[in-house]
Amino acid sequence: MSSPIDLVLARLEPFRLRQAGRDRWRACCPAHGGSNPSALSVGVGAEDLVLLRCWHGCEVEQVAHALGLELSDLFPAKPPQFHTSGKPARRRLLSAGQALDLLDGEMTLAVVCASDMAAGRPLDESTRARLLQAAARVSMLKDEAHA
Ligand SMILES: [Zn+2]
């Protein structure tokens, strides 16, 4: 998989792209369509994030869209975090309420397992695996809260 900057540079190729230094480029801005080959500054920021700056005032999103890209294409792919409601959770984007909901769900599972065991019913393989997953999720929640 290529990094975000490779993708952006490939798309900017027709816009008189030229290198302006280490990890820095200039090009015509694809969003407002001017012919000034210095209108758009391109750089690489922390964690390989692609930086786009149109000196004419176009929003980063407009520039990305003009290249057929989404804002998310400017960010390097991150390993998947744990999921809530089908959407990938971003760091620090989980509200305290969401975190507690998740914790509540995992606790309920643990309580059900505990009462099964107390009643003399051993946990089957998949329930045990699910319980381990619950522990891992709670641990990730903790990391998330401390991030
Ligand atoms: Zn522009």
Q: Dump pLDDT digits (tens) for 119-129.
A: 998 888 888 88
Amino acid 79 reads P
How far, in Å, is the centroid of ligand 1 from the Cα of 25?
Answer: 15
What per-residue confidence (pLDDT) applies to 5?
A: 95
Q: Dump pLDDT digits (tens) for 4-55.
A: 999 999 999 999 999 999 999 999 999 999 899 999 999 998 888 899 999 9
**Is the pLDDT reported for residue 88 higher than 60?**
no
What per-residue confidence (pLDDT) applies to 4?
A: 92
Rounded CA-CA distance 130/135 in Å is 9
Q: Which stretch of 34-48, 70-84, 100-114, 133-147 has the lowest confidence by average pLDDT?
A: 70-84
Q: Dump pLDDT digits (tens) for 89-118.
A: 455 567 778 788 888 888 888 888 888 889
Picking from 1, 49, 51, 4, the residue whose alpha carbon sits closest to that of residue 24 is 51
Rounded CA-CA distance 87/69 in Å is 20
Sequence-ordered strand ranges (E) for the chain: 18-21, 24-27, 40-44, 50-54, 83-84, 87-88
Distances (CA, A) of 144 to 30, 49, 77, 82, 99: 38, 21, 19, 11, 9
Domain ranges in the chain are 4-74, 83-146
How far, in Å, is the centroid of ligand 1 from the Cα of 54?
Answer: 5
What per-residue confidence (pLDDT) applies to 111?
A: 86
What per-residue confidence (pLDDT) applies to 122?
A: 86
**Is the pLDDT reported for residue 60 higher than 90?**
yes
How far, in Å, is the centroid of ligand 1 from the Cα of 127?
Answer: 55
Read off the tokens for 84. Answer: 């809530």
How far, in Å, is the centroid of ligand 1 from the Cα of 142?
Answer: 42
How far, in Å, is the centroid of ligand 1 from the Cα of 132?
Answer: 51
